[in-house]
Chain A
Amino acid sequence: MSGAKLYGLMAEFEDPTALVDATRRAREEGFTKLDAYSPYPIEALTEALDIHDRKLPAVVLGGGILGGLAGYALCYWCSVIEYPLNVGGKPFHSAPAFIIPTFETTILFAAFAAVLGMLGLNGLPMPYHPVFNVPRFALASRDRFFLCIEAKDPKFDHDDTWAFLTKLGPRVVMDVEE
């Protein structure tokens, strides 16, 4: 092991069940600063780590409302306040017509909120992350499943944790350097 600072320990598993299993065990063990990596979304894993993030829907709702208000305001301001014109004898405030741009802006803003919100909350884009230092981690996007316990974890002790992880029957356990 080189002198580089340790980020945590990583265990590689062959199949999803093992990972979910390991994750559960790790949490029962009392580890809190840990994360699991899989090549596709696994709901069981979310429960195992019991992640309950309800921010995103709120963000999207906010975006939608903002978009709606902005859209209608635009229509109204242009056609009623800024430059009212007699167009085909229609009233300046032609509400039914304004609904459509309003609807579209609602969707647009909400969609942006969803995407940017997701990226933002996930802290993406993030070109560098310690886990990438593990060569085998490249397989996380292919066919392998990884559990990583961070050194920040209060219960973390290199040797104990290493032993614990080995107990979970991983394919291999590796150091993750910063």
Chain B
Amino acid sequence: MKSTVDSQQSTAGGPDIAEARTKLGQLRGREYWRSLEELLETEDFREHLHREFRVPIESAVNRRELLTLMGASIALAGLTGCTRQPTERIFPYVKAPEELVPGEPLFYATAHVHGGYARGILAKSYEGRPVKIEGNELHPASLGGTDVFAQGSILNMYDPDRSQTLTERGQIRPWSALLAAARLALEKERAGRGAGIRFLTGTITSPTLEKQIGEVLAAFPEAKWVAWEPAGRDNVARGALLAFGEPVEPRYAFDRADVVLSLEADFLGSGPAMPRYVRDFVSRRKAEGTNRLYAVESTPTLTGAKADHRRPMSPAEIEAFATAVAVAVGAIASAAVTNQFVEAVAADLEAHRGSGLVLVGESQPPSVHALAHAINETLGNAGKTVTYSGPVAGGPADQAEAFAGLVKDMESGKVSTLVIVEGNPVFTAPADLGFAKAMEKVGLRIHLGLYDDETSRLCHWHVAQAHPLEAWSDARAFDGTVTILQPLIAPLFGGKSAHELLAAFSDQPERTGHDIVKDYWNGRLPGADFELAWRKALHDGLVAGSAYPAKPVRVRQDFFKSEIRNPKSDIGLTLLFRPDPTIWDGTYANNGWLQELAKPLTKLTWDNAALIAPSTAQKLGLTTEDVVELTLDGRKVEAPVWVMPGQAENCVTVHFGYGRTRGGRVADGKGFDAYALRSSNALWAGLGLEIRKTLRRATLATTQHQYGMEGRDPVRAVTAEEYRKDPAVVARMGEQPPGPKDTLYPTLPTGSYAWGLSIDLSSCVGCNACVIACQSENNIPVVGKEEVARGRALQWIRVDRYYKGGLDNPETVHQPVTCMHCENAPCEVVCPVNATVHSAEGLNQMVYNRCVGTRYCSNNCPYKVRRFNFFLYTDYTTEILKMVRNPDVTVRSRGVMEKCSYCVQRINRARYAAEKEDRPIKDGEIVTACQQACPAQAITFGNVSDPESRVSKAKAESRNYGLLTELGTRPRTTYLALLSNPNPALPAANKAGEGHGGHD
């Protein structure tokens, strides 16, 4: 296929005049020619004829020649008059839609589908141009919060690398051609009752799509639907099956849990309900009555970082630990190795019957899930803190198994038609299956995807997919709640939705996504008047009462195969597979924002690495940035080492999603492909890893080199106990600020508005949602790996990560740092041109067009929150990227300083509204981008001169403290100290020497 592309390049381009003359010479009699293209019979011309008259052509044209084609069609404009094209006229608004006021944003409720599960969002749109994603308060999975993927998804829609055409073997084809092909295939299959048809999807929760597939399967009983999600939840289903005999899904109520034990479950960092669970969890993280979290995990996660007690254990040890706890609480009868930690946890869980909770991560084997179910039942937590309901996802219960089966069928030539709906299986499939090779045996391969990626390369047909913000669809949330996805904009590149593709295999192939989805819901929505219910569902962003009801289930007595697994210590190295924290399974690999987002724990950007425990690294003589060769079952991959404090000994973690070869200009060549080591029987943990050190070293771009706090206290942490005893303890920590009298200068009066921000470190889980929200809101460009490595990252808000205690199992804390908007700002005094000055409302304003770029302000900023445009980082040339920008925010050019503005554009919008109605700005009326995105509601913004405002109340707490106040900067951004709630029965986490140095 590549070759045809190349051959095309030669024929592309303008006509050759010299050649034209010679041809003219040969013309005899009354022969007319209409254009050089025709005369020379160029590719362009024949292509044009094909499009105009459907003349079959043999030459292939790949999508990169679209422009050339356009060129031709313009050159031949004379022709188009005499073709049978429907005339399309455009009109200005005669009656403008009343809701559309130029310059005023509109919000549409829809959903962001991540790993198949929906999370409610509101998409902000200017003049029909979506520019920002925000959380939907009404939606159970969001409650107003979002995660990095939802925030970043908007950039994917405007990605210039998105595939823009429907192609067959690289030739541009009309939709009708695909329909024809589909028809043909179905006719062929009819005899065999569709035995050769396979639909391969990701995890599907869309009722409409399930129905559509169902209909096809009904018509072709032998056809199969296979689902493959690289970071799937098979183990959850298997575990439930093992424990209850039916594939139910557990749902947790963290707001009701006093004691939580997480066995490798990163419910605060990922998972279908992440924003919701974060919200519920931190709602119990307040001074009065703090919950307690135990985390047992093999690789550090945000959940572990938040835990009051964290223990790194290898997967095997975790299983043994789970068994021991189960035994200790009497959930199962068996012998088990016990220790102080097990007893303490068990006792704590016992003490909180009905308000305790044990949960297990997807990466754990079914047996551990089953144990957790048993423990929860024994302790009476089931029905209170954990409830069960039918599986939300459709398709085969066990994806991995079905997928393996599919590959076998393909190899044995059973499969003649493979329809891949979304996903990128060629890239994500377990290496041992050899999916890519098996593909060649399939007669007709159709791929629907946002990108012309690794999979579409091996497919005959590639259908450019419409982005979720461009198409109609629906999807279920973790609890079954349905959201109807509505498009905010016509498909930018004329893409098709999964529904429209599936329709091609039904007997109404031409139906639009809108009709398909709406027809499905017609009669299914609550309420007599469908139109009304439909509007309401769209408006709310969810279908009321569509959540699955809790289902009473009992644990089977015989589920526990009582062989005592003692964690063998001589199992060597284990390789752990995890989805990447910022680009997930590779879906977001071409998203610059997410690529440049520092991973929550490593603070690594643009790369993945092999995470190795300090002790193990020492043993193997490895240091960060060494390149090693990882060998698992004979498959080799080279990866840079990252020494990871808190990583379980002898466990090496690799994140999959990197190492794309056809993912787009941003994605390609970044990191290494961890899928290449993943095998279907060891999806999450592979034993017998071998590591060979190479002599090469890699450069990893991290935004934070330092590990510890170097004996300072930017993050003040106390136990809830200490705090309750003596609330003043926080204020006493660290250097004391100068009093209001300790200045020679008169303090300038504060007006009726004085903006301030409060960040609750007890709530913050360090998920980074605020960072991407800020980047999206404030038009912050991406600078690239090299620039990040040089210390030139541009994000306005950063989340600092500090370790406390020894390297083997440190406490990890996160601290979001914005501009402090100091009342006595050191940056302002030193600016020679008054480019950064104070507003009457206490904003530290950055005047871009006055800035000459001396960088003195950045040097003199104790918080180092100022960011500089060392080059022209903003992309001024790519047209489509201009659409993603927020029209309310200046786009910065080269050579100017920039920084957090407290979202001044939002402040001003609120001000206009208030002034129109001649009233003061209400508390909570201004919501900054970071505040809106935060699933934990850790950020509060408002007017500090109003003692009743929420921010004033937060700052009034005795947990409140400012960063570096001893410098007399009087920051307007302050923090609420971090509260922990350790178990008195356990020794506090080892305080052995601070994690010094880092690597710099």
Contacts and interface: CB of A to CB of B under 8 A. Distances in A.
Q: Do chains A and B directly touch (beta carbons under 8 Å) in the complex?
A: yes
A55 interface: no
Nearest to A86: B838
Given A85-B837, A89-B747, A89-B838, 20 more contacts: A85-B834, A85-B838, A86-B838, A86-B839, A86-B840, A87-B829, A87-B834, A87-B837, A88-B825, A88-B826, A88-B827, A88-B829, A88-B838, A89-B745, A89-B748, A89-B823, A89-B824, A90-B745, A90-B824, A91-B745
Contacts of A89: 745, 747-748, 823-825, 838, 970
B828 interface: yes
A91 B838 CA distance: 12
Contacts of B839: 86
B739 interface: no
A158 to B, nearest CB: 68
B746 interface: yes
A88 B839 CA distance: 10
Given A85-B837, A86-B837, A86-B838, A91 B828 contact: no
A contact patch SS: loop
Contacts of B840: 86
A150 B90 CA distance: 99
Contacts of B822: 88
Interface string A134-162: 00000000000000000000000000000
A88 B828 contact: yes
Contacts of A91: 745-746
20 contacts: A85-B834, A85-B837, A86-B748, A86-B837, A86-B838, A86-B839, A87-B828, A87-B838, A88-B825, A88-B827, A88-B829, A89-B745, A89-B747, A89-B748, A89-B825, A89-B838, A89-B970, A90-B745, A90-B824, A91-B745
Interface in B803-830: 822-829
A86 B834 CA distance: 10
A89 B834 CA distance: 13
Interface in A21-46: none
Contacts of A87: 828-829, 831, 834, 837-838
Nearest to B828: A88
Interface string A77-93: 00000000111111100
A165 to B, nearest CB: 64
A89 B829 CA distance: 9
Contacts of A85: 834, 837-838
Interface residues of B, number: 19
A104 to B, nearest CB: 15
B contact patch SS: loop
Interface string A52-86: 00000000000000000000000000000000011
Contact of A90 (B827, B829, B831, B970): B829
A88 B823 CA distance: 7
Interface centre among B747, B825, B826, B839 (most CB of A within 10 A): B825
Interface string B736-761: 00000000011110000000000000
A85 B747 CA distance: 14
Contacts of B837: 85-87
Contacts of B824: 88-90
Nearest to B834: A85
Contacts of B827: 88
Nearest to A85: B837
Contacts of B825: 88-89
Nearest to B743: A89
Contacts of B838: 85-89
Interface centre among A87, A88, A91 (most CB of B within 10 A): A88
Contacts of B747: 89
A91 B825 CA distance: 13
A174 B825 CA distance: 76
What 3 A-B pairs are tightest by C-beta distance, nearest first? A86-B838, A88-B829, A88-B828
A87 B826 CA distance: 9
A85 B845 CA distance: 12
A89 B828 CA distance: 9
Interface in B929-971: 970
A74 to B, nearest CB: 15
Interface centre among A87, A89, A90, A91 (most CB of B within 10 A): A89
Nearest to B823: A89
A89 B972 CA distance: 13
A91 to B, nearest CB: 6
A86 B970 CA distance: 15
A111 B975 CA distance: 55
A74 B851 CA distance: 22
B763 to A, nearest CB: 31
A128 to B, nearest CB: 48
A60 B610 CA distance: 74
Contacts of A90: 745, 824, 829
Nearest to A87: B828
A85 B828 CA distance: 10
Contacts of B834: 85, 87
A19 B839 CA distance: 74
Nearest to A78: B834
Interface string B373-387: 000000000000000
A84 B58 CA distance: 74
Nearest to B830: A88
Interface centre among B822, B823, B829 (most CB of A within 10 A): B829
Contacts of A86: 748, 837-840
A90 B828 CA distance: 10
A87 B836 CA distance: 8
A86 to B, nearest CB: 4
Contacts of B828: 87-88
A88 B828 CA distance: 5
Nearest to B747: A89
Contacts of A88: 822, 824-829, 838
A90 B748 CA distance: 8
A102 to B, nearest CB: 17
Interface centre among A86, A90, A91 (most CB of B within 10 A): A86
A86 B822 CA distance: 12
A87 B970 CA distance: 14
A89 B831 CA distance: 13
A80 B561 CA distance: 84
Interface in B239-290: none
A87 B827 CA distance: 9
Interface in A81-123: 85-91
Contacts of B823: 89
A23 B825 CA distance: 70
A107 to B, nearest CB: 20
A41 to B, nearest CB: 44
A126 B922 CA distance: 78
A85 B840 CA distance: 10
B222 to A, nearest CB: 77
B23 to A, nearest CB: 72
B834 to A, nearest CB: 6
A21 B823 CA distance: 75
Nearest to A79: B834
A141 B801 CA distance: 76
A97 to B, nearest CB: 9
Nearest to A92: B748
Contacts of B970: 89
Contacts of B746: 91
Nearest to B842: A86
Nearest to B825: A88
A86 B840 CA distance: 8
Interface in B466-503: none
Interface in B428-445: none
B75 to A, nearest CB: 58
A90 B829 CA distance: 8
A88 B968 CA distance: 11
A91 B746 CA distance: 7
A137 to B, nearest CB: 53
A85 B838 CA distance: 7
Interface in B828-861: 828-829, 831, 834, 837-840
A139 B936 CA distance: 92
